Chains A and B, each alone.
Chain A
């Protein structure tokens, strides 16, 4: 890689909202290509990196999962405000997918009751302390119903190759702008 190209190091991030983490597993399946990625970009925030606060001035982010609770909502708004290119990463982020399967059943109380009371093995009771367990939104939403989304990557999960191609084109686009 030429020194000139190394001059610009894009800051990228991955975010995990309400999803199964399968999309991140697929990302990790890029295996040794992740070393190539580290050559050309800085991963500044990710569930697999120990960073507590989503930083400012992120060039591109892959957001896995739907928006299902107050924590997701707060984070996605922060991510949007601090990122140039926001990618809806996988079917939960794009459509709501399996995460949104609760929507036809009614409001959160219906399935909280089912999960924490009816199906509870011991100590039935719905956790109400929202500092510990974030409050659920009435409906699970795909990202674009909450914030502006710049690109959509479908798949449950998207294939590693698709993730790589998308990252390369996003970073390439950013590079050209420099």
Chain B
């Protein structure tokens, strides 16, 4: 495989395109709403209608407005029309509506079906980098990714850049880890690049586990090659030749599409030995998680890949010095790897021009909760929570927004009065929350904050591995106290004990799960203490 072959594949793919393209979402959200049957009906209808000279049906990934699925987009480029002019997005499509859709597409008309307004801020305020191919390329066809400039960045890196230049580009871009903590990616890469190790590994952390979060799943289901390309570039930059994607077993579709992507990339020589005729080999394997949230913690994740019980270990040593089987290992999250190819294609400066001074680029969020538009969004860093909630999300249809929860069980609740806070790592941390991996849950007056804290504590309690005592037993006790407060059986002494436990668990737990488990309690206590105090009793009540 060389560049001309890559371009030939892209050219052939473009040549085969029909003037009218009907794209059906086949990511998990729309599939669970019946998108698979819609897809089949569209294909059957197309071949029956005889319009296949003019119209094509494509199985694409996530089109973001998940609450209105199944979504079908029709783009009409006949008569040289630009795509944006002729694009229509139909919502909640049923298989029985396929004939109407195909007929209208063939005639270049709008179908008499409910449509989503593509000029709504939900779409126009987004800034797709990670999701640029989401809902556009066909995730199960590598040719479709190549047509969208796929693997060009890998070619450029392997043929024109030294590993040091690649690391430098990533460092200059200002990209920070998208798994939650925001460690500078370039620094992490340079640590692994400089490590002296007989072998090095690349690991992609796809063990997305926060309740309500589905960013990584959407990327993997919609554009899996982007992640493979990012991993291959990272491997070249740090000197690794083997990679693992650790993905949770609850994502069968993403696993399936990754397997297809790895197989086809290998067949085209984009993974394997001597990629692009360069002295560089890289292979990727999947490791399927068995349903433990803690395996998203990097030391537990590595233990699980090695076939051991997924328990965290004390750091140091960090994976960069002592990772998989004792070798230097680079671990990045799905979204981090998904940012790599565009940075190398368009340059560090371009990337650094998006976002704020300390938080560059964009962030993908899974927007959910008491909000009109639920779905997947990608926004530039520095956008305010208010813009996300009120403009993109369309506000709360039933009531008043009370708080926004970010960072899942490790994060916190930001009250409505702080909605003008810009979304960047530091600003969210100042408010006692975290950027997190991208869960964003909007809450209104019907959500009691004690119960919200209790919900997340139950999650941490169920997901604690049990290795270190403060997390194992502390989450149980904190959960019990939160239940007691919620059920109006607690006194001021119980609340004081809860706060003391939060302090102990936060500072004495072994890994991030325990260290951040008290965050939902601490942040709701900080902003909604009165909701706790209102439930307290003067006298001890026995259960």
B543 on the A face (CB < 8 A): yes
A147 on the B face (CB < 8 A): yes
CB distance from A80 to the nearest CB of B (A): 10
Task: Let me know if B542 and A137 touch, CB within 8 A.
Answer: yes
CB distance from B461 to the nearest CB of A (A): 19
A125 on the B face (CB < 8 A): no
1/0 per residue A134-146: CB within 8 Å of B? Answer: 0001110100011
Task: Let me know if A146 and B540 touch, CB within 8 A.
Answer: yes
Which A residues are in CB contact (< 8 Å) with B543? 138-139
Q: Report the 6 A-B pairs with minimum CB-CB distance, sorted nearest first.
A: A146-B540, A138-B543, A137-B542, A146-B542, A139-B543, A141-B542
Task: Let me know if B542 and A147 touch, CB within 8 A.
Answer: no
CB distance from A149 to the nearest CB of B (A): 12
CB distance from A152 to the nearest CB of B (A): 16
CB distance from A83 to the nearest CB of B (A): 17
Q: How many A-B residue pairs have CB under 8 A?
A: 9
- 9 interchain pairs, CB-CB under 8 A: A73-B542, A137-B542, A138-B543, A139-B543, A141-B542, A145-B540, A146-B540, A146-B542, A147-B540
Across the interface, name the chain B residue whose C-beta is closest to A146. Answer: B540
In the bound assembly, the distance between CA atoms of A146 and B543 in angstroms comes to 11
In the bound assembly, the distance between CA atoms of A141 and B543 in angstroms comes to 11
B49-102 interface with A by 8 A CB criterion:
none
In the bound assembly, the distance between CA atoms of A138 and B542 in angstroms comes to 9
Q: Which residues of B contact A (CB under 8 A)?
A: 540, 542-543
In the bound assembly, the distance between CA atoms of A7 and B430 in angstroms comes to 62
1/0 per residue A142-172: CB within 8 Å of B? Answer: 0001110000000000000000000000000
In the bound assembly, the distance between CA atoms of A136 and B543 in angstroms comes to 13
Which B residues are in CB contact (< 8 Å) with A73? 542
In the bound assembly, the distance between CA atoms of A141 and B542 in angstroms comes to 10
In the bound assembly, the distance between CA atoms of A137 and B543 in angstroms comes to 9
CB distance from A31 to the nearest CB of B (A): 38
Q: Which residues of A contact B (CB under 8 A)?
A: 73, 137-139, 141, 145-147
Which B residues are in CB contact (< 8 Å) with A147? 540
In the bound assembly, the distance between CA atoms of A145 and B540 in angstroms comes to 8
Which B residues are in CB contact (< 8 Å) with A146? 540, 542
Which A residues are in CB contact (< 8 Å) with B542? 73, 137, 141, 146
In the bound assembly, the distance between CA atoms of A29 and B36 in angstroms comes to 82
In the bound assembly, the distance between CA atoms of A139 and B540 in angstroms comes to 15
Which B residues are in CB contact (< 8 Å) with A141? 542
Across the interface, name the chain B residue whose C-beta is closest to A138. Answer: B543
> A73-B542, A137-B542, A147-B540 known; 6 other A-B pairs, CB under 8 Å?
A138-B543, A139-B543, A141-B542, A145-B540, A146-B540, A146-B542
In the bound assembly, the distance between CA atoms of A138 and B541 in angstroms comes to 13
Which A residues are in CB contact (< 8 Å) with B540? 145-147
CB distance from B332 to the nearest CB of A (A): 46
Which B residues are in CB contact (< 8 Å) with A139? 543
In the bound assembly, the distance between CA atoms of A68 and B540 in angstroms comes to 16
Across the interface, name the chain A residue whose C-beta is closest to B493. Answer: A148
In the bound assembly, the distance between CA atoms of A70 and B540 in angstroms comes to 15
In the bound assembly, the distance between CA atoms of A178 and B59 in angstroms comes to 88
Which B residues are in CB contact (< 8 Å) with A137? 542
In the bound assembly, the distance between CA atoms of A139 and B542 in angstroms comes to 9
Which B residues are in CB contact (< 8 Å) with A138? 543
In the bound assembly, the distance between CA atoms of A22 and B543 in angstroms comes to 29
CB distance from B540 to the nearest CB of A (A): 6
CB distance from B483 to the nearest CB of A (A): 15
CB distance from B108 to the nearest CB of A (A): 72
CB distance from B25 to the nearest CB of A (A): 51
Across the interface, name the chain B residue whose C-beta is closest to A141. Answer: B542
CB distance from A138 to the nearest CB of B (A): 7
CB distance from B127 to the nearest CB of A (A): 55
CB distance from B300 to the nearest CB of A (A): 31
Which B residues are in CB contact (< 8 Å) with A145? 540
In the bound assembly, the distance between CA atoms of A26 and B360 in angstroms comes to 72
CB distance from B467 to the nearest CB of A (A): 24
In the bound assembly, the distance between CA atoms of A127 and B542 in angstroms comes to 24
CB distance from B30 to the nearest CB of A (A): 48
CB distance from A3 to the nearest CB of B (A): 43
In the bound assembly, the distance between CA atoms of A75 and B540 in angstroms comes to 15
CB distance from A114 to the nearest CB of B (A): 23
CB distance from B387 to the nearest CB of A (A): 50
CB distance from B476 to the nearest CB of A (A): 15
In the bound assembly, the distance between CA atoms of A73 and B540 in angstroms comes to 12
In the bound assembly, the distance between CA atoms of A146 and B540 in angstroms comes to 7
In the bound assembly, the distance between CA atoms of A146 and B491 in angstroms comes to 12
In the bound assembly, the distance between CA atoms of A96 and B542 in angstroms comes to 15
CB distance from B537 to the nearest CB of A (A): 14
In the bound assembly, the distance between CA atoms of A147 and B493 in angstroms comes to 12
